[in-house]
Structure 1
Amino acid sequence: MNLSKNQIIILSAVGLIILIFVLIFLGVLPGKKQNNSSSPTSFQQKIVAKISFWTYDENPQNFNSLIQSFKNQGIEITIRNFDSYESYNSALLQAMAVGQAPDIFMIPSTEIPVFANKINPLSTTQLPLVTLQNLFPQIVINDMVVKNNIYGLPLSIDTLALIYNRDLFNKAGIVSPPDNWVSFVDLVKKLTLKDENGEIVQAGTALGTTSNIHHATDILYALLLQAGSPITKNGQAVLTDNPSQMAFQFYLQFAKPTSTYYSWNANLPNSLDAFAQNKVAMIFDFQKSIAEITAKNNFINYGIAPLPQLSTSSPIWVVPARYSVFTVSRQSKNYSIAWNIIYTLTTNQNQADQYVTLTGKPPALSSLIQKYLNDPNLTVFAKQALYAKSWYGPNRTTLDQTFENALDALLNANQMEFINILNQTQSKITALINNIY
């Protein structure tokens, strides 16, 4: 049979294709995975990158799913966790000093200004601002975006809330928690019980001191921000204006024996202990502290309510937040991979939701906030994340101590001393700010 030129070309091409498939099948040419006959799963993915990932106060197992998903892509992630932020921060700074910083590290959101020159941020051309706004609440945009650069992304956002004792409320005939400060002080008066000597036997709230109040300065920051104090402005602390003075006075009145609302003093137990012992009706704390309370008293009947506001009719509500973010070291040689890991961890709904499920922490991802709005354990914290606000402060430990010292000194100060103490504190805070910025 005589074949035409075109037929010869077609048959030759078909034969060549068949030959290639046979060679691939036999393993002569690449394209077929070579499995060990004794172990069909023994094929090893080639490692293309090794990523060091440092965290604090976390369980590394919470990231197992993330680690496995990237391992399948040839990326090996090694988690190193520290039990406390203090030890973590010390080790991190030492590692950075000798050029051995981890690729990915975790820091409190308020420490971004301190670590800014040690971070290799993500540009908003890589992650557009509109995308970030759709993914996270406004607080993340406000805190993390500086000059078109994104300095970190969170998995969880915790906020300050009112935690109240339902049994003490029921006993006093109180149906619901207060949603504004006027109602709050009225309930404090009703819930505070004293013996014949005027000693407090049941506190309406834990406010006014610092040594035995958990997160005392966060409560003060909330009052300052709600009162309209900027706390800092143009690199200067602002603490002597009327809104700031009113916030300080409001906080302190609960620890003054001459006050109508006297309900707390330095001789009482720590606020968390007192609450667990049914000795105080209302405290202010973060979601993270609830586990500590229930560990002290697993049978305590408590409720969670939003942080009271000056007025619930106000168009702007203010509640302080505490949260950590993941970011990439300037020393990392795997910038793109590291940011891809962070982006996947914090914005992939399955990954982020698994973290919430494992830890019980409130979510940061907007889609998960919507999901947990009706969760009895997280509803308040999820909702508050939508209007949460941060106040940047350099060296949070030193800053908190400075404010605590001021509160302690102000408690028994006369009017002239009051202003002098605020002026001195203002100068100290300004010096701290200028030392960082």
Structure 2
Amino acid sequence: MSNVKCSVNLNRTKLIIFGITGLFVAILIFALVFGTKQSPQTQVVGDILVWGVIDEPDIINQFVVEFKKSYPKVNITYQKKSANTYEKDLINALAAGRGPDIFYIHNTWLPKHADKIFPDYEEYMTVNSFRDTFVDVAYNDFVLGDEIYALPLYVDTLALFYNKDIFNSVGIANPPSTWEGLLSMVPSLTKKDSSGGISRSAIAMGTAKNIDKATDILSLLMLQSGVKMFDEERMQTTFDQRTMENDIEYPSGQQSLEFYVNFSNAKKSVYTWNNQMPYSIDAFLEGKTAMMINYSYQVENLRSRAPHLKFGVSLAPQPKGAQQSVNYADYWGLTVSKTSKYPDVAWFFAHYLMEKEQSTAYIKMASKPTARRDLVNTQRNQERELGIFAQQSLSAYSWYQPDNIAVSKIFENMIELTASGVSALSAITDAARKIDLLIPHP
């Protein structure tokens, strides 16, 4: 019996010794790992230069300050560049090896600047995660194959601005939701003088030179009509012709061009605009047009320039009976230069800015519509005007443009030629061939 008690006591003693030894080892490991090794935050090191074009330094610098609290060894410098020379300055700086680590990229720029970009790390975000996080148009613009080339700061869309006083004066209670409804309002909203000249336009549409975003408005009309702008390989334009693909017939953009230009055709019943009218934004400010189509940043511009102007913003008109809404996008994103010495740190900071908390703060400070799916409903419910643009981001589209500046000039010329009397067929055919010449060939 005494042998049994002795055995039990020995076992208890061993257990106590093993327990104490195990605890000591655990404490030693903890001390070695967490006492001598730097935390992940202090290991992130780098000097990052950011070039922007739309955001003031005080906005971005607020995020830089917060970021440095967690990552003190990262130095981030933000510089706002002139919009007029930004792209040229960027190209020259990158070519000379003195460009930024992170730079703002327009949603149409990837075709001509993809070779200057260091694609994102899959460890930071997968393509599927990108698709789940951001609205569809950002995926179409910033993802090539299985690589992410940029992250959207926001997504803006064209919407309808209308003068409430003018609408009230002619007895129109609500803005049009369809193009057909808009056409029916043109006679009531248009005012002509004794000589037949236009003293007040119903809507700023029909020309290019004196209409802000004229080419975007035409692109919107084409996409809403189902026009296929390019072939699948993106080697040839198709917006000037009817095309058949997978047993689906796509219309020509000619009808959309004619629809747009008819607003400046004195022979048409919807004649309401011409080249003698003031620039569209000025015309709207002065009450010389009842409606215009533009982006969200015009809300703040209009309020600052004309505090007493009573205007509203509504969803962009859609074709009557359309099965789904189609809107047109314009926005900027962040990308990382191929010449950056710290591409991993640069992308890390870019992702930090796109996180839900930071993105919520950014769209509030910058007055921008969100690009994140999980913030659309919040912005739609909390912000009257910006909510309109946020809602439209879910149905926003863009189209492949080999050189957005050149394409815009070609479209402007196409509009002006048609408005001057050249047939729409001839003008759109010529425009398509000119854009074909911009396409890079292997």
Q: TM-score, normalised by structure 1?
A: 0.86
After TM superposition, list the pairs within 5 Å mapping 1:13-412 onto structure 2.
Answer: 48-72=45-69, 73=71, 74-84=73-83, 86-124=84-122, 126-233=124-231, 234=233, 235-241=235-241, 243-311=252-320, 313-346=321-354, 348-374=355-381, 375-412=383-420
Contact 1:53 1:78 in 2 (8 A): yes
Query: Cα deviation per residue 1:137-171 (whole Å; 9 max; x = unaligned)?
Result: 11111221111000100121110001001111111
Please give the alpha-carbon distance, in whole angstroms, between the structure 2 residues aligned to 1:50 and 1:418. Answer: 53
Deviating beyond 6 angstroms after TM superposition, the runs of 4 or more aligned structure 1 residues are 29-32
- Answering whether residue 421 of structure 2 is matched by residue 413 of structure 1, we say yes
SS of the equivalent of 1:281 reads strand
Residues 270 and 101 (structure 1), Cα distance of their counterparts in 2 relative to 1, 3 Å cut: same
SS of the equivalent of 2:291 reads strand
Residues 87 and 171 (structure 1), Cα distance of their counterparts in 2 relative to 1, 3 Å cut: same
Q: How far 1:127 sits from its partner (Å)? A: 1.7
Contact 1:47 1:76 in 2 (8 A): no
Q: How far 1:96 sits from its partner (Å)? A: 1.0
Please give the alpha-carbon distance, in whole angstroms, between the structure 1 residues aligned to 2:229 and 2:43. Answer: 53
Residues 139 and 30 (structure 1), Cα distance of their counterparts in 2 relative to 1, 3 Å cut: closer
CA-atom RMSD in angstroms = 2.9
Q: How far 1:46 sits from its partner (Å)? A: 8.7
Please give the alpha-carbon distance, in whole angstroms, between the structure 1 residues aligned to 2:61 and 2:79. Answer: 13
SS of the equivalent of 2:151 reads coil
Q: How far 1:402 sits from its partner (Å)? A: 0.8
Residues 31 and 389 (structure 1), Cα distance of their counterparts in 2 relative to 1, 3 Å cut: closer
Query: Cα deviation per residue 1:73-108 (whole Å; 9 max; x = unaligned)?
Result: 121111111131x32212211111122221111110
Amino acid at match of 1:240: D
Identity across matched positions, percent: 31
Please give the alpha-carbon distance, in whole angstroms, between the structure 2 residues aligned to 1:55 and 1:160. Answer: 23
Q: Which runs of 5+ in 2 are unaligned?
A: 1-9, 29-34, 242-250
Amino acid at match of 1:238: T
Q: How far 1:300 sits from its partner (Å)? A: 0.6
Query: Cα deviation per residue 1:365-417 (whole Å; 9 max; x = unaligned)?
Result: 12221211122121110100001001121222211111111111111325xx4
Contact 1:124 1:148 in 2 (8 A): no
Please give the alpha-carbon distance, in whole angstroms, between the structure 2 residues aligned to 1:408 and 1:87. Answer: 26
Please give the alpha-carbon distance, in whole angstroms, between the structure 1 residues aligned to 2:143 and 2:218. Answer: 26
Query: Cα deviation per residue 1:22-75 (whole Å; 9 max; x = unaligned)?
Result: xxxxxxx9799xxxxxxxxxxxx7982111111112111112332123323121
Q: How far 1:354 sits from its partner (Å)? A: 1.1
SS of the equivalent of 2:407 reads helix
Please give the alpha-carbon distance, in whole angstroms, between the structure 2 residues aligned to 1:53 and 1:240. Answer: 40
Query: Aligned match of 1:422 in 424, 428, 434?
Result: 428
Please give the alpha-carbon distance, in whole angstroms, between the structure 2 residues aligned to 1:130 and 1:172. Answer: 50
Matching residue of 1:40: none
Please give the alpha-carbon distance, in whole angstroms, between the structure 1 residues aligned to 2:323 and 2:356. Answer: 31
Query: Cα deviation per residue 1:250-278 (whole Å; 9 max; x = unaligned)?
Result: 00001011110110011111110010111
Residues 31 and 228 (structure 1), Cα distance of their counterparts in 2 relative to 1, 3 Å cut: closer
Q: Which runs of 5+ in 1 are unaligned?
A: 21-28, 33-44
